[in-house]
Amino acid sequence: MTDQTTSIRPRKSRPERVAGTIKEWIVEKGMKPGDRLPNEAQLIETFAMAKGTIREAMRLLQAEGLVVTRTGPGGGSFLAETSRDRANALLSNYFYFQDLSVDDIYAVRLLLEPELVAGLAGRLTEDQISSLEAVMEDYARPAENSEEERKQHVASLRFHALLAEYSANKVLGFFIGFMSQILTDLTVFRKLYSEPNLPLWERGRNHQIELIKALRSGDAERAREVMKAHMEYARHMMDAQEATVTRRFLNA
């Protein structure tokens, strides 16, 4: 056995090492979003590398959502707070190749969303509740065809994503928002033989009306129960539909 001259993992390229070093700076110096990073010329000098190499390093950090760059005087690279959208997109990349079932997502939603609304009860501003009600307007009437139904489905996912944004628990909020995003991106076709089911639609809508009521009055237990019932209903609805067809990368 020779030693590991041919290591299993390839030696990191210079741009990768530069990006790693810059990350260390960020942690060590306790830099905050908006803080300025050295400009290209300075980085070229401190790392003693060519412009192209430095630029590739910055692209790495940019892809991770950690820096943004601006041209012009006073421009340069700035530390950025990774946006929720970008984090969603990057995580979507991971799940793109995992064949996850819709039911897996609903199983997790069933666990998380009731707790989300329980924590929200009595804590929403009137503005936030108005936003929720505005989204509900998009499915105030039962769908008449499958295309309309798809749109309503997307709108109802927006309702849940909005709730997630309002959560004080960042982890809970992100997970739920991410699942809404994934479900929005999935194109789901209803089975041809399953006709629009009016009673079920009405039941789902009543759930949300009851939910709003409980959120307003601050009845956490009631909110939890209603959301649980709603999630079970939604899971059942999805069960009656056909396979997920189009997956796509988010534009990021």
Partner DNA sequence: TAAGATTTGTTCGTATGTATC
Partner DNA sequence: GGATACATACGAACAAATCTT
By CB under 7 A, name the binding residues for DNA. 6, 10-11, 13-15, 39-41, 48-53, 55-56, 58, 69-77
Residue 75 contact among DNA, its own copies, none, beta carbon within 5 to 8 Å by kind: DNA
Q: Is 164 left (phi over 0), alpha (psi -120 to 50) or beta?
A: alpha
**Residue given tokens 């990368």 in the structure block:** 249
Toward its own copies, which CB reaches closer, 55 or 190?
55
Toward DNA, which CB reaches closer, 40 or 138?
40
Q: Which of 211, 187, 188 is nearest to 136 (CA)?
A: 211
- 23 and 63 Cβ atoms separated by less than 8 Å: no
Residue 66 contact among DNA, its own copies, none, beta carbon within 5 to 8 Å by kind: its own copies
Which of residues 29, 36, 70, 236 is near its own copies by CB under 8 A?
70
Residue 174 contact among DNA, its own copies, none, beta carbon within 5 to 8 Å by kind: its own copies
Toward its own copies, which CB reaches closer, 99 or 126?
99
* CA dihedral of residues 223, 229, 230, 232 (deg, nearest 10): 140
Toward DNA, which CB reaches closer, 33 or 52?
52
Q: Which helix (H) or strand (E) holds 15?
A: helix 14-28
Torsional sign, CA 216, 220, 226, 231: positive
Which of residues 21, 29, 33, 242 is near its own copies by CB under 8 A?
33
- 237 and 79 Cβ atoms separated by less than 8 Å: no
Give the Cα separation of 90 and 83 in Å (integer): 11
Give the Cα separation of 159 and 136 in Å (integer): 7
Which of residues 97, 126, 199, 245 is near its own copies by CB under 8 A?
97
Residue 133 contact among DNA, its own copies, none, beta carbon within 5 to 8 Å by kind: none
Q: Which of 101, 90, 43 is nearest to 62 (CA)?
A: 90
Query: Tokens for 216?
Result: 């307003």
Q: List the beta strands (DSSP E) in the chain.
A: 67-70, 76-79, 188-190, 241-244
Q: Is 27 in the site for its own copies (CB under 8 A)?
A: yes
Toward DNA, which CB reaches closer, 43 or 186?
43
Q: CB 59 → DNA: shortest distance, Å?
A: 8
| Interacting residue ranges for its own copies, rule: CB under 8 A | 10, 15, 20, 23, 26-27, 32-33, 52, 55-56, 59-66, 70, 81-82, 84, 86-87, 90-91, 93-98, 100, 104-105, 107-108, 111-112, 115, 169-172, 174-175, 179, 247-249, 251-252
